Amino acid sequence: MSRSDSSTSSSEIPRSRRRRVAALLIAACGLHGTCAASPPQVLVVAQSLDDIVSLDPAEGYELSSMQAFTSLYQRLVQPDPDHPESISTGLAGGWQSEPGSLLFDLRPDAVFANGHAVRPEDVIWSLSRAVKLNLSPAFILNGLGWTADTVDQHLVKVDEHHVRVTWSAPVGPSFALSVLGSTVASIVDEREAASHATAGDLGNRWLHDHSAGSGPFRIRRYIPHEALVLDANPLSPGDAPRLKTIVIRSVPGAATRELLVRVGDADIARDLAPDQYAGLRGQPGLQLWEFPSAAVHYLLFNTTNTAAPELANPALWQAARWLIDYQGIAHQLLKDQYLVHQAFLASGFPGALDDTPYRLDIPRARSILHAAGLDHGVTITLDVFNQAPFTEIAQSLQATFAAAGIRLQIQPALTGEVYTRVRSHRVQAVWLYWIPDYFDAHSSASAFALNLDDGTTSIAQRAGWQIPELSALTLAAVREPDTGRRRELYRQIQTEVQRSSPYVIALQERSQLVMRANIRGYRQGLNADMVYYDQVTK
């Protein structure tokens, strides 16, 4: 992460005089003046919460809910906030790796926020229910070979402080640890959640807007599309949270979020547009932070679309790699909110390939197209989300592709519509982004470099890319127990995808946020769930 600008709160806009005038005016109307500062001991975060479907870790799989889970729940193991590339202890104080299984030692002093002790039964129930409910993130646990029928036999209570976890899928222990460190593997208090179960829902409906975890915070109140209010858990593991309350306000307009943080009614504002962020640079009382994000953006050609046979021609894919103005998009168009990255593992991920061999080179692209007989004028429809920055990126692509004789017809649509068309193989080309589901290279590799033609969905399957050898290599990598060797395999896979796939990976996101100058201790990592409020002070 980097802090690009800061200044102290002493240089804030003077407000006392204005407040006195306002107080007089408003008092004349029988009112009192507004208080333009968030309350002490309360951190106010302005962002959109419209994406939250559920705050049950077995169901919630959206950016905002995943950010919240880290504050609400612990997992057996979880990424170390300061060194996210390594798995650290969570509710388990340690573990022993055995072939095909892991034996976890539960912390004897671990308790949920309501005071209940964490038991092996809670671990087994939580993991089992996530598989049986079979909601959005269940596929992550399915990666261990667990199904609703078999999961119970893979989770065994050894004694009051030990749980043995086994798996039937051909994967190694490091992959299993990554899966158990994902948010869907959060440990829920069985006694609390089960007591609110209705119609066999394993507490799912109640956990939509309540929490039953052992994380540093607990839900005080969740109002959909309005706010998520978290109270500090006094029984929190390690140091208790420094602040008593976190208020995450849903503020849909980016301009409104900017105003809130400028005035001081919000301490942190997320998801500002590149122009807004650039405009706040050097503003007194604010500090601007940038954190790398695991999201990578890419152009995909659907080779199965027979309406445009050129899409299946590898020469088109090769030419496209030289037809993107990587630097211009990342730095000029999107004001450094993105960086050029050309491999599916985001920079910062263990095993990530940071080579960027491609640049905008129109003559080279033209010669590739000419050699392949594609220089007679190719027209391709490009589907894109109808919002910033996707439409801007699409316009840049349209201009550079046109210079090589490829006519891109931009088709903007709602996010849901684009994904519906991608799923049904109706797109020709589409600009998308990818966020890993858990902090393991296999999450991305199984998307970009695995097509088993067995009904399993992946990006390779969506593109119709037939890759039996690469798929075998991807499966070998996930089985590999040696960490160093495993990373090397993923570099090989990324190189191959970078060189020959029908997608062009171009950019990696930077997560930018604006904070009041008095905020300290905020931490954020590469993955969506790596948002840590527990050490924040103001």
Judged by the rule CB under 8 A, the positions of this chain that interact with other proteins are: 15, 18-19, 22, 25-26, 30-36, 38-39, 42, 44, 50, 53-54, 61-62, 134-139, 142, 205, 208-209, 220-221, 223-227, 229, 247, 249-253, 255-256, 259-260, 262-263, 265, 413-417, 419-423, 437, 447, 455-457
Q: Using alpha carbons, select from 474, 177, 506, 527 the residue that is nearest to residue 344.
A: 506
- Tell me how far, at minimum, the Cβ of 429 lies from other proteins, in Å: 17
For 159, the enclosing helix (H) or strand (E) is strand 155-159
Which residue, 264 or 389, has its beta carbon nearer to other proteins?
264
State the residue for tokens 């491999």: 343
Q: Using alpha carbons, select from 89, 102, 80, 99 the residue that is nearest to residue 481.
A: 99
Which residue, 37 or 117, has its beta carbon nearer to other proteins?
37
CA distance 70 to 126: 16
Helix (H, G, I), strand (E, B) or coil at 277: helix
Helix (H, G, I), strand (E, B) or coil at 334: coil
String of DSSP letters for 262-273: HHTS-SEEE---
109: amino acid identity, one letter:
D
Is-contact 315 368, C-beta < 8 A? yes
- Tell me how far, at minimum, the Cβ of 235 lies from other proteins, in Å: 23
Which residue, 261 or 339, has its beta carbon nearer to other proteins?
261
Which residue, 103 or 278, has its beta carbon nearer to other proteins?
278
Which residue, 422 or 460, has its beta carbon nearer to other proteins?
422
- Tell me how far, at minimum, the Cβ of 251 lies from other proteins, in Å: 4
CA distance 435 to 444: 8
- Tell me how far, at minimum, the Cβ of 403 lies from other proteins, in Å: 32
- Tell me how far, at minimum, the Cβ of 423 lies from other proteins, in Å: 6
Helix (H, G, I), strand (E, B) or coil at 177: helix
Is-contact 289 513, C-beta < 8 A? yes
Which residue, 198 or 483, has its beta carbon nearer to other proteins?
198
CA distance 383 to 471: 27
Q: CA angle at residue 446 from 441 to 451, to 5 degrees?
A: 160
CA distance 461 to 451: 5
CA 147 from centroid of its chain's CA atoms:
25
- Tell me how far, at minimum, the Cβ of 367 lies from other proteins, in Å: 36
- Tell me how far, at minimum, the Cβ of 252 lies from other proteins, in Å: 5
- Tell me how far, at minimum, the Cβ of 128 lies from other proteins, in Å: 16
- Tell me how far, at minimum, the Cβ of 336 lies from other proteins, in Å: 25
Which residue, 262 or 491, has its beta carbon nearer to other proteins?
262
Which residue, 223 or 403, has its beta carbon nearer to other proteins?
223
Provide the sign of the torsion angle of the four alpha carbons 142, 137, 347, 320, taken in this order: positive
Q: For residue 259, give the DSSP letter.
A: H
Which residue, 161 or 208, has its beta carbon nearer to other proteins?
208
For 130, the enclosing helix (H) or strand (E) is helix 120-133
125: amino acid identity, one letter:
W
